[in-house]
């Protein structure tokens, strides 16, 4: 195998392993001696950690999960591995980020059963779209405080990403994102919707858990 392809392989492998670090599962084991996947919603993510272990554990999990997505995209793909055969750096970053999210969702350290990858995906978006991410975060927060649904807020934030990327540059004279990143942004909402398909079913039948402490207007 050509050395440049080996570089790409090692980049993706390292990104996958980085994303696979089972933050919430380790936190549950260390703090309560439990597998977080056996409690609450069963999801190995920061939201479920908040419900079961509290905000301090959830904040730690969220920060590390975000870092798991940011590191492969912002550092591994741009600095650590530069001899790959793909000339478009944006494509390489996307591949590294996707490998990290895949690692988080199907972690090799916990029977290939991880979280939904939203925190790790957020890290990728911070690295790739620094000017659009704060607006996506605002969309997430506004949806959360009005509805209380973290799942719905995640989907709204994901859907807003390509919208912001297309409308912000001409409005504010910002340099538009490369075509590869624009195309990637169109797949983000579909990924989030796919990983939240069980939540969508619960939203439809009214059984989805609400984060009521975050709501301003309660029924």
Distances (CA, A) of 142 to 113, 122, 135: 30, 17, 10
Q: Which residues contact 74 (CB under 8 A, 6 or more apart)?
A: 127
Contact 130, 178 (CB under 8 A): no
Q: Look at 74 and 219; give whichever has higher pLDDT.
A: 74
Q: What is the pLDDT of residues 173-202, one digit of tens each?
A: 888 888 989 999 999 999 999 989 999 999
Tracing tokens 């509290």 back to the chain, one arrives at 54
Q: What is the pLDDT of residues 81-130, one digit of tens each?
A: 666 677 888 899 999 999 999 999 999 998 898 888 889 999 999 999 99
Largest pairwise CA distance in the chain: 62
Looking at residue 176, what DSSP letter applies?
A: P
pLDDT band at 11 (very low <50, low <70, confident <90, very high): very high
Q: What is the pLDDT of residues 58-95, one digit of tens each?
A: 999 999 999 999 999 999 998 876 666 778 888 999 99
Distances (CA, A) of 87 to 60, 101, 145: 36, 23, 43
Cα 103 to the center of its chain, rounded Å = 11
**Please, what is the average pLDDT of the chain?**
91
Contact 27, 61 (CB under 8 A): yes
Name the pTM for this structure: 0.86
Output phi, psi for 126, to 5 deg.
-60, -40
Cα–Cα distance for residue pair 194/60, rounded to 1 Å: 26
Cα–Cα distance for residue pair 69/85, rounded to 1 Å: 22
**Residue 41 has what pLDDT?**
83
């Amino acid at each position: 195998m050509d050395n440049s392809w080996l570089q790409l392989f090692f980049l993706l492998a390292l990104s996958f392993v980085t994303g696979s670090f089972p933050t919430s599962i380790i936190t549950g084991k260390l703090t309560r001696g439990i597998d977080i996947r056996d409690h609450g919603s069963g999801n190995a993510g920061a939201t479920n950690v908040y419900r079961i272990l509290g905000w301090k554990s959830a904040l730690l999990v969220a920060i590390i999960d975000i870092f798991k997505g940011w590191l492969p995209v912002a550092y591994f793909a741009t600095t650590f591995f530069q001899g790959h055969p793909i000339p478009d750096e944006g494509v390489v970053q996307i591949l590294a980020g996707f490998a990290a999210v895949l690692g988080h969702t199907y972690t090799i350290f916990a029977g290939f059963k991880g979280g939904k990858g939203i925190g790790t995906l957020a890290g990728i978006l911070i690295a790739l779209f620094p000017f659009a991410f704060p607006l996506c975060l605002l969309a997430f927060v506004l949806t959360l405080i009005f509805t209380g649904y973290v799942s719905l807020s995640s989907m709204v934030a994901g859907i807003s990403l390509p919208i912001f990327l297309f409308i912000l540059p001409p409005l504010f004279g910002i340099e538009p994102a490369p075509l590869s990143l624009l195309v990637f942004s169109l797949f983000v909402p579909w990924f989030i919707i796919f990983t939240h398909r069980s939540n969508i079913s619960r939203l439809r039948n009214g059984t989805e858990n609400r984060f009521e402490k975050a709501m301003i207007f309660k029924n």
